[in-house]
Structure 1
Amino acid sequence: MASVDTKPMPTPSFVAPSVASDVLLRPSAQTEVAAATRHEAARPWRMTALLMAGDTLALGVLLYVLHIASLWVAPAFAPMVMSAAPIAVGSVLSLYVGMGLYRTRVMHPVEELRSIAVPVTGLALIAPGFTYMMAGSPVAVGLVAATGALAVVVVPLARITTRIMGAHLPWWGVPAVVVGSTSATARIVDTMKRWPEIGLRPVAVCEAGTGQHGTRTGSSPEALHWARQHQVPYAILAEEAVPADQRAHTLAHYSQFFEHVFCVPATDGMVATWTTTATCDGLYGFGVRHLQHQTAARFMKRALDVVGAASLLIMLLPVFAAIALAIRYASPGPVFYRQTRMGYQGRTFTVFKFRTMYTDADTRLDDLLARNPRCRAEYEQYHKLHNDPRVTSVGQWLRRYSLDELPQLLNVLRGDMSLVGPRAYMPKELFQMRGLSRVVLQTPPGITGLWQVSGRNAVSFSSRVDLDVHYVHNWSPWLDLYLLARTLPVVCTGRGAH
């Protein structure tokens, strides 16, 4: 990716083949948003205010919890907590301002999580020492240390939650114009719409002019109109393979009109590498992260899995009981369904699910596919059916909200799976993974993952594999935390479920 902006910004990630039929903005829609775009571009403070409010709320809740705990075990320390609270909140917010975390710019949420955690971790490490000097109480020091450890997770999680919630507001996002060929711009716009919390809002899709070699990288008068008349600050160019001098000329031309200009490769199959563009010793190219090879990173992931799975199992025991009764009431048969899946390094294991199908499901499927070519084509593409005759009435409800996946928490405790990871593929699907199984199976499969928050069953099987490759290449603890935060609204709304 190339850029002429003096303030680097990560490109929108998780670019995947389009699953929506109307990702391109229609001319009528462009006309409707033109006036609003000009008005909103002049008021970027609303995004800043929302993010600051979310951070303040998270810090306030943590300090309130510390105050309540102090009243129980260290009453003399409680007044000190309340008096120091404004200073603590102000210090953190000031650090964020100094780090540029409130500037109206586009930042990928995973990078933002890491940036948010750095100052919080620093304060969490030094706060117990200050507490000991001021209070001299080992109990107070322990409370502050525990609160600091909690803050390292809660504060970044609160920021991404604020972004996810704010992304549904009509004024959220910085306006952007996408320029390029129809197929290339469709993928980019689909990404921007699917991940609105990144902060880019497409307001127009413009056809690029034809360059010297017949490639669509020339100037687009319509895009320049949006920059001049509507003050759109961002231009994203879907770049085809062109000589270096033509690329430099195109970037220089657009930079005269837009504050930020970015080139995104228009090559198919780039889903797993678009976000890892990097420079190293003057070299420019695509990088791949392999943090799963680091002992500390693996330990952190496993610790999160064990603590998270155990906590959820305890809290959800009443839900397990209610679901079990509903399944037995809907149709005769066992409560749980067992299936063989592939795990880490291709080792097979038995995955647990709540049963959502009739006991003669295989016979029903074979009969349907034999007499219905449309359903057979759908099953071959997605490995699922929209109206599946095998699924019970209760099973449809469980699948819509992913409740049938809850027993996989047992697989997480056993070490077969992780809370977040690639899809758990069946052995019979190995030969349909285009040789990418050697990449996907480098890490344990997850209950949730990138493919689930990218459209779930609306994403084709081939796209799921590409998204899983992307996850493996870009894995970090912060990516897991981000995907966990994004899973909740997807599950609650049932979006993408068949």
Structure 2
Amino acid sequence: MDAAIIIGSASLATLGREGLPFFTSTADVSESLTLVGPLLVLGWIASIVLAGGYARSVFDAGPDEYKRVVRASFIAAGLIGVGCFMAKYSLSRGFFLLIFAIGIPALVLGRVVLRRAVYAARRRGALLHRVVIAGSPSHVDEIAHVFRRESWLGYQVIGALTPAHDVETETGTGIPVLGNCDEATSVVLTAEADIVFFANGALTSSTQLRRIAWELEGKDVQVVVAPSVSDVSGERLRMRPVGGLPLVHIDPPRATDAARWGKRLFDLIGSTVLIAALSPVFFIAALSVKLHDRGPVLFRQSRVGKGGDCFSCLKFRSMVTDAEAQLARLATEGSADSVLFKMREDPRVTAPGRWLRRFSIDELPQLVNVFRGEMSLVGPRPPLPSEVERYVGDTGRRLHVRPGLTGLWQVSGRSDLSWDETVRLDLYYVDNWSMLQDLVILSRTVRAVFGSRGAY
């Protein structure tokens, strides 16, 4: 795939150099590529190989694969430029600029497309890794839950290994126990597993893990140690071997960073631009709400913001004017869980309210809340005071940052999510905030809105 992309980029760069009007001098690039073309393709591929761009460990998860491809491409560009200079070979500078300007993004895009295809295949049950998890039953179930939730990883749990003192035939969630941890090598080979995960409670000493790794050497079985760390982004983890111990250092949570002036400046500029750009949508939405039943255009509701301070959250009214009065009656009929009230076919929603909700247009007035500093463009879901009163445990950490017009909850299913899943996503955002993550969430929001998933 990479070779085809590079050859295609070279062809486009050749056509561009010979045909684009801003290149003043003419050049016959095709003739000069007879010699340097094959070397360019092979050299570029070799750079990606040496940079580890084809390593199995980086193929299907995380940004490391993309970083290696980009880094290798710049190295290839430097080597080709220096090589042509040293050999006094006349390679068109316009062609040189175009091929890398086209080729580098194309290589990354090709990897993205391939990764998406693999994810889709795994969700359909193909290209799966057979996995055995070793550890105490509770930790086995915890890891297995993550694998089921993140089905794109392709981890198919076929069984568990538990400590010798555990005599149960399956874990609490029904994963069959194939044996105890002391029999790890024989059980993994018999079960024809591709990966064995060692969680807490699996090993009695580091010597035991080292011996298992020796026994599985050359057996095409990956050995993975799963520390008791979850919902922590890779940017906060650093591996630092000390005295033969692979220590995992965890940087502090980033809730403080998510409340600093840089994010506030981004919100201020972003909300101003969006209000100006979407002003026609504001007008059409307001007009449709007003003409429907002559009621108020905006719906104001008290929500809890950063630090527990309440503010008036603005929305285009999408329900009948007495919607709040009907809430108590409908609460017993809706699909409410422990904290949230959600109803897929809510009879209070008006005709214009349906399309306003479908494309999340009803939430656009919250851009005014963002401009005023009460909300952020990206953040946790803004809760009701009644919801905050029922918070237990760590849920209150959601209030350490400004609530968001969109967030991980928005791009992950919105109302289709359970309460526990919504809290998990919000806490992950609070602890692992980064500006890059905000930009990714904003880009994913557009797809989530037009897909209308979970919008009701």
Shorter-chain-normalised TM-score: which range?
Answer: 0.5 to 0.7
Q: Distance in 2 between matches of 1:154 and 1:310?
A: 33
C-alpha distance in 1 between matches for 2:158 and 2:181: 13
Question: Which letter maps to 2:120?
Answer: H
CA distance in 2, matches of 1:328, 1:385: 24
* Residue 115 (structure 2) aligned to one of 150, 156, 163: 163
- Measured at CA, do residues 380 and 252 of structure 1 come closer, stay the same or move farther in structure 2, by a change above 3 Å? same
Deviation of 1:361 after TM superposition, in Å, equals 1.1
For 1:443-482, list aligned pairs within 5 A: 443-482=401-440
Distance 1:315 1:399 in 2: 20
Q: Which of 348, 373, 378 is matched with 1:390 structurally?
A: 348
Aligned CA distance change for structure 1 residues 461 and 122 (closer, same or farther; 3 Å): farther
Aligned residues: 429
The alignment status of 1:423 with 2:381, answered yes or no, reads yes
Query: 8 Å contact 2:380–2:407 — kept in the other structure?
Result: yes
**Aligned residue in 2 for 1:17:** none
For 2:295, the aligned partner's letter is G
Q: Tell me how far apart the structure 1 counterparts of residues 77 and 285 of structure 2 sit (CA, whole Å).
A: 41
Q: Give the alignment of 1:370-385 within 5 angstroms.
A: 372=332, 375=334, 378-385=336-343
Name which of 128, 131, 138 aligns with 1:177: 131
CA contact (8 A) 2:303 2:384 kept: yes
Deviation at 1:359, TM superposition (A): 1.6
Distance in 1 between residues matched to 2:405 and 2:446, nearest whole Å = 12
The 8 Å contact of residues 379 and 385 in structure 1, kept in 2 or not, is answered as no
Q: Secondary structure at the match of 1:105?
A: helix
Q: Which of 1 and 2 has greater Rg?
A: 2
Q: Which residue of 1 aligns with 2:52?
A: 100
**Partner in structure 2 of residue 203 of structure 1:** 156
Indicate conservation of the 8 Å contact 1:179/1:223, yes or no.
no
Q: CA deviation at 1:348?
A: 4.0
- 3-state SS in 1 of match to 2:346: coil
- Is it true that 1:442 corresponds to 2:400 in the alignment? yes
Q: Deviations over 1:90-120 (max 9, x none)?
A: 9877655443234333554355566667678
RMSD: 5.7
Question: Where do 1:96-245 residues align within 5 Å?
Answer: 96-106=48-58, 108-110=61-63, 163-164=115-116, 166-169=118-121, 175-179=129-133, 188-192=143-147, 194-196=149-151, 200-212=153-165, 218-219=180-181, 233-240=194-201, 243-244=204-205
Task: After TM superposition, give the deviation of residue 471 of structure 1 in Å.
Answer: 1.9
Partner of 2:250: 287
The 1:92/1:457 distance shift into structure 2, 3 A limit, reads farther
**Which of residues 367, 385, 395 is equivalent to 2:329?**
367
**Relative contact order, higher structure (CA 8 A, sep 6+):** 1
Matched, 1:355 2:317: yes
Change (3 A) 1:136 1:489: closer
Q: Take 1:236 and 1:328, find their aligned partners in 2: how far apart are those partners?
A: 59
Counterpart amino acid of 1:434?
V
Cα–Cα, structure 1 residues 378 and 345, in superposed 2: closer, same or farther, change >3 Å? Answer: closer
Structure 2 counterpart SS, 1:388: coil
Residue 379 to residue 228, structure 1, CA distance change in 2 (3 Å): closer
2:20 and 2:409 mapped to 1: Cα distance? 45
- 2:83 alignment counterpart: none
Deviation at 1:407, TM superposition (A): 3.5
Distance between the aligned counterparts of 1:220 and 1:389, measured in 2?
Answer: 59
Using the alignment, how far apart are the partners of 1:483 and 1:318 within structure 2? 24
> 2:453 aligned with 1:495, yes or no?
yes
Report the Cα offset of residue 345 of structure 1. 4.0
Deviation by residue 1:4-45 (Cα, 9 ceiling, x = unmatched):
xxxxxxxxxxxxxxxxxxxxxxxxxxxxxxxxxxxxxxxxxx
Equivalence for 1:37: none
Deviation at 1:364, TM superposition (A): 0.8
SS in 2 for 1:272: coil
SS in 2 for 1:109: coil
1:334 counterpart (284, 296, 304): 296
Would the aligned equivalents of 2:52 and 2:68 in 1 still touch at CA under 8 Å? Answer: no
Do the aligned partners of 1:289 and 1:474 also contact (CA within 8 Å) in 2?
Answer: no
Deviations, residues 209-240 of structure 1 (Å, cap 9, x unaligned): 4424669782599997786686x533335544
1:264 corresponds in structure 2 to 226
Aligned CA distance change for structure 1 residues 340 and 179 (closer, same or farther; 3 Å) = same
Contact 2:27 2:92 in 1 (8 A): no
2-side partners of 1:250 and 1:414: how far apart?
61
Q: 1:469 Cα shift?
A: 1.9
Deviation, 1:468, is 1.8
- Letter matched to residue 494 of structure 1: S
- Identical columns (%): 29
Q: Which position in structure 1 is the counterpart of 2:87?
A: none
CA deviation after TM superposition for structure 1 residue 360, in Å: 1.0
- SS of equivalent residue, structure 1 residue 483: helix
Gaps spanning 5+ residues in structure 2: where?
79-90, 172-178
Is there any run of 5+ residues in structure 1 with no aligned partner, and where? 1-48, 126-133, 138-142
Q: Give the Å deviation of 1:400.
A: 4.4
1:447-468 CA-to-partner distances (Å, cap 9, x unmatched) read: 3322334443233334422322
Distance 1:288 1:492, change over 3 A: farther
> What amino acid sits opposite 2:159 in the alignment?
C
In structure 2, relative to structure 1, the CA distance for the partners of 1:196 and 1:165 (3 Å cut) is farther
**CA distances 1:431-487 after superposition (whole Å, capped 9, x unpaired):** 333353663333333233223344432333344223222222222233334434544
Q: Contact 2:339–2:387 at 8 Å: present in 1 too?
A: no
When residues 249 and 96 of structure 1 are mapped into structure 2, their CA distance, relative to the original with a 3 A threshold, is closer
Query: Is the Cα–Cα contact under 8 Å of residues 365 and 389 in structure 1 kept in the other structure?
Result: no
Between the aligned partners of 2:451 and 2:184, the Cα distance in structure 1 is 37
Aligned counterpart for 1:248 among listed residues 209, 221, 243: 209
How many angstroms apart in 1 are the aligned matches of 2:111 and 2:376? 24
Distance 1:496 1:204 in 2: 29
The structural deviation recorded for 1:287 is: 1.4
Q: Normalising by the residue count of structure 1, what TM-score does the alignment of the two structures yield?
A: 0.61
Please report how far the alpha carbon of residue 363 of structure 1 lies from its aligned counterpart in structure 2 after TM superposition.
Answer: 0.9
